[in-house]
Structures are given as C-alpha cells and as structure tokens.
Amino acid sequence: MDLPSKYKLQDTFELKTVLETSRMLVESRDADFILNSLLLIIMGRLLVSKAAIFMYDPAEDRYCLKKSKGFDGLAEGQFYNIIINEDQQNISFLTFDSVHADFPKIINRPEHCVFVNLRTSNNHHGFLLLAPKANNTPFRKEELEFVEALCIISTSALVNSQLFNELKKTYRNLDRRIHELNTLFDLSKEFNFLVDREKIARIFKFALLGQLFIRTFFLVYKTQDSYTLLAASGLSGKPSDNQIKRIFEAVKSEVIIPDSDFSEKHPWIKKNNIAAFISVSIQNEKVAIIGVGERANKIPFGENDYNFLKSLSNLAVISIQKTYFLDDRIDKERMEEELSIAKSIQQGLMPDPIPEVDGIDLAARTIPSREIGGDYFDIATTPDGNTIFSIADVTGKGVPAALLMANLQSMLHVLLPVDITLAEATDRINTIIFKNTPPDKFITFFWAKYVSTHKLLRYVNAGHNPPLLLRHRSDEFENLSQGGLLLGAMESIMPYVQTDIQLNPNDILVCHTDGVEEAMNVEEDEEYGVDRLKQCIRNNRHKRSFEILEAIVEDVRHYSGNKLDDDLTLLILKASDSVSDLRSE
C-alpha cells in the first residue's frame, strides 16, 4: 500500500515494521486479529500500557468499543460518544479535552493521551485511543506518523476484512436460497403428482422438519363456510371447531408473530408454543393458515425463513385446493352421469312414439328447464280398449321431482286394470302420495279417459292448470277445471268429481303445465299468460295437433328470449271422425 509522501520513515526498523505489518494485515481476513495486532504493535513500539479501538456505527451514530487493552473503565461492545461534530472526523489526531463530554474519565493525565483517526482515503471509520507513554513523555512527531501509517494500513485491512466477511455471508445466503429454491422446485413437482391430501400433508411436515427443524405445526383450510384442521404434528390437544374458526379469523396478515395479547386470547396457541402464523390467500381470498412452533435448535426465524415458509405453504395449499377441485369435478361428473341415466329413465317412462288413437289427432311434448324435469304426461290403453290421457306437474325440479313423477306413473299403470272410476282412482293416488311424501311435495294432476265409441271424454282435474277446450266454429274456450284438490296436499276430505264432455270433430283440447303461462319476458317483466296462449291456439286452430304444439312452443320461446325457468309440457287433442280423416286434411 502506498503511503502519503509526508511520511518520511528514516528509521529502518520503523520502515520494516510498517512493511511487515502491511503484508500481514492485508493477507488476514480476521477482523479480531487485525485489531489485536494493531494494538500490540503500537503499544510495544511506543511503550504504551493502555490502548483501545472504537469503530463508528452509522445506525447508532456512535462509536462501539471493539478492542481494549489496559482500560478498566471501558467495556467492549458498548457504545460511546467521542466527537462533538463531523468536522472532527477529518482531523488526524484529537486531544482528550476536545472529545465529547460524555466520554468516560478514564485517564489520569489526559493531556498526554491522543485519539488517532482510523480512515481510508477520505472515509472515517473510527478512532484509536492511546494512553500516555509509560515514561510520561509526550508523543514525538515521528511516533505519531508511525502510528498514523499503521492505522491507515490496519483500517484498510479491516475494511477489506469486513467486505470479505460480508461477501462470504452473501454467498452463504445465496447458497441457502439456491438450496431452498431447488427444494421448492422439487416439492412443487412432487405436489403436482399428488391427489391425496394426507400425502401432501406428510410431505409438508417432512419439509418443515428437514429445512427449518420445525416439529410442531398445524394447517387449517377453509372450505366454503367451514374450517378444517387438515394437518397437524406435535400438538398438545386438538382445538375445537370454534377455536379453529377464531384463530383463522384472528390471523389477518401474511405473517403474524403472536404477542402476549394474542396468546392470552387463544390459550391453545400459548399451550403449544406457536411461534408464527403464515396466511395463504388465493385470488385475494384467505383460504388457509399455517401455525408453526419454535425450531428444534431454538434459532429464531429470520426473514429468509419466513419467505421460505410462505413459499412452501403456498405450494402445499395450492396442491390441497387442487384436490378439492378434483373431488368436485369427480362429484360433478358422477352427478352428470347419474342425471343422464335418470333422464334416460324418465324419458323411457313417457310414451314414444305417441300412439295413434282412433278419432283423435294427438301430440305431446315436454321440455325440461333442467337436465331432469318435474313435468309428466302419459298415454295408455285401458283393458276395455279406451285411452287414458294424463298430464302432471310435480313441485320442484331435478331428481326428487323425477322420483315422485316415476311413482305417479307406476300408480297410474297399476290402477289401469282395476275396475274403478277415475274419481275413485284419483282418491287412492292422493292417499298414497300424502302418506309417503314430505309435506312440501305435491302434484297438480289432470287425467281423462277417452271413450272412442261415444266420442266421450271423462276427466278429473286435481288442482292442475285447467285444460283449454276450443269448440269448432267458436272463439270461446271452456276450462276443464272440475275435480278436486291437488295430489299430496292433504288427505281426501271430499270425493273427487269426474265430468263427461262430448267431443265433436275439430274440437281442440290443449292440456299444459304452468311453464307455459309463467314463461317470463325479462324486458317487460311480464308473464306469457293464458290470454296469449288462447290467441296462439286460435291462430293455429286449422292445423294438425303437432303443428299447434310447435306453434305454442315457438311463441313461448320467442316471448321469453328462449329462457325457460320452468318445465314446459303440452298435450294436445284434436277430435275427428277417424285418424284416416285427419290424415287426409
């Protein structure tokens, strides 16, 4: 190292000492060795019995005693005020009477002591304090120049040592981060192949123990409105559901270190010595918290540890969430498969194709608003050769409605060969449904027997939308509303009433469910209504039954913007002398 030109070291011994010290200190990377060597060389050369080195700490804006020899009134590691103003940092030597008044009075003859500036180029780093010489003589100029030269060399070596140690620390941290990233990468690959939550929790546990020496932890996952303790290790006692919920809601930040107030509110946390919480959010929604206990080696968690914990927790929670999504998908696919089977069964309960009935042009169709509907129609032949027509609407939709509809269909077919009237059969059906279904389940039901030899229609309406009968050469409709209570609402008190009507050629009977009348026009906030239905029938009265049905369906779809909120079912009869007459039209 080149020294300033003002240093004229004529003494061969001093020159050799400076050069040897320079070589020794520059090669050293040990700060304690550098400080100790500086004190010993100067104290030996100048015959000083007491010396100390103070290094400036910018964070404290004070000086920390790093090394001391001979002073009883100074404590290594303590902070002291030495200078009064920043200008003193540029002075090579300070006298004792020019330093801060708070500096301890530790020297008998302060007028013979000196503070030597420790600096590199123009940067100040601290002071070397030298007590008076053993012979009580003042320091000579050559001695001070020798001390200053050694201080410059030593300070440079000390700064290099600090930089080297910082670099080593940086490299160690970098190696650790690379190791952690490799660990996280390997864990992410492992998690990606797992669909078992228990295996994910087990790997998470081993990662906490292997990387951070954490033996106590727990993981709480939020599923909709419930809080589930998915994984835990090393805990004393299991928390209640209410405790889990309270702890989950109390963790409001990404990382929380529980203080005494937090622990007092949650004794279970205090009992298990939980040292930190990690909150995991996905798409700005908190979905999990992880609580971890102290390390087995008792080393406190640092910032890098918390970063690793957050990354590891995110990986585990995302993998856990994936398993829930997979479960939901499997459940959905299973439900879709079951619904598809149920739909096929339901469709098989309805007549397909629509049978031909002598003297009647017949059309029927149901359009469910969901995969499975609650509407029903049926056409069956009785043992005496006549035909039964029925239409029904079960409360609700989906599988429960379909099951009730299937029960209704089976009861109808069981009663077909029984020699009883429609009214009596309706009463028996009502009794069975009332006794075997929940109170919120009921059926609106209309059915009729067509006696082809007399062109007679005998019907019972059990609370269903009255079918509309449009007579030939008339624009007015008759409502077929006679019958009784809807099915399943209550036990039969009054007997059901059956009514006979005569069908004449070109009379039209339109049976429908409330999905037709209640189809909603969103823009006008108005239902389709019975008046529009009647007008549509009038406009298409000259057509065949299936054409009338298609015209009604098209009109309802157009009115509602093709959005059906309820099942829609139509059963349409158009009377004639024979089927052959209808085909000739």
Pick one of 3.65.10.10, 3.30.450.40, 3.30.70.260, 3.40.960.10 as the CATH number of 194-326.
3.30.450.40
Cα Rg, the chain, nearest whole Å: 48
Cα maximum dimension of the chain:
148
Q: What is the pLDDT along the chain (585 residues), one digit of tens a residue?
A: 344 444 444 455 555 666 666 666 666 678 888 888 888 888 888 889 899 999 999 889 999 999 999 888 888 999 999 988 888 888 889 888 888 888 888 777 777 789 999 988 778 999 999 998 888 888 888 888 888 888 888 888 888 888 887 777 766 766 666 666 676 677 677 767 777 788 888 888 888 887 778 888 888 888 877 888 888 888 888 888 888 888 888 888 888 888 888 888 888 888 888 889 988 888 888 888 888 988 888 888 888 888 888 888 888 888 888 888 887 788 888 877 766 776 676 676 778 788 888 889 999 998 877 666 678 899 998 888 899 999 998 886 667 777 778 788 888 888 888 889 999 999 999 998 888 888 888 899 999 999 988 899 999 999 999 999 999 988 899 999 999 999 988 888 889 999 999 999 999 999 999 889 989 987 878 999 999 999 999 999 999 999 999 999 999 999 988 888 788 899 999 998 654 444 333
Q: 10 Å Cβ neighbour count for 399?
A: 16
CB 32 within 8 A of CB 67: yes
3-state class (DSSP) for residue 582:
helix
Q: Domain 12-165: give its CATH superfamily.
A: GAF domain (3.30.450.40)
Q: Do domains 12-165 and 350-583 have the same CATH topology?
A: no
Cα 380 to Cα 51, 354, 357, 418: the distances in Å are 117, 10, 10, 14
Instruction: Transcribe 460-529 into DSSP letters.
Output: EEEBPPPPEEE-TT---EEE---EESPBTSS--SSPP--EEEE--TT-EEEEE-HHHHT-EETTTTEE-H
240 by Cβ neighbours in 10 Å (0-12 / 13-18 / 19+) ranks as exposed
The distance of Cα 380 from the centroid of its chain, to the nearest Å, equals: 54
> So where are the chain's domains?
12-165, 194-326, 350-583
Measured between alpha carbons, how far is 96 from 50 in angstroms, rounded to an integer? 14
CB 95 within 8 A of CB 111: yes
For 270, left (φ over 0), alpha (ψ -120 to 50), or beta? Answer: alpha
CATH code, residues 350-583: 3.60.40.10
The residue behind tokens 């999905």 is 515
Q: What angle do CA 190, 191, 195 make, to 5 degrees?
A: 120
At 440, which helix (H) or strand (E)? none
Q: 10 Å Cβ neighbour count for 337?
A: 10
Measured between alpha carbons, how far is 377 from 446 in angstroms, rounded to an integer? 9
Instruction: Transcribe 229-258 into DSSP letters.
Output: EEEEES-SSPPPHHHHHHHHHH--SSEE--
CB 270 within 8 A of CB 236: no
What does pTM read for this prediction?
A: 0.53
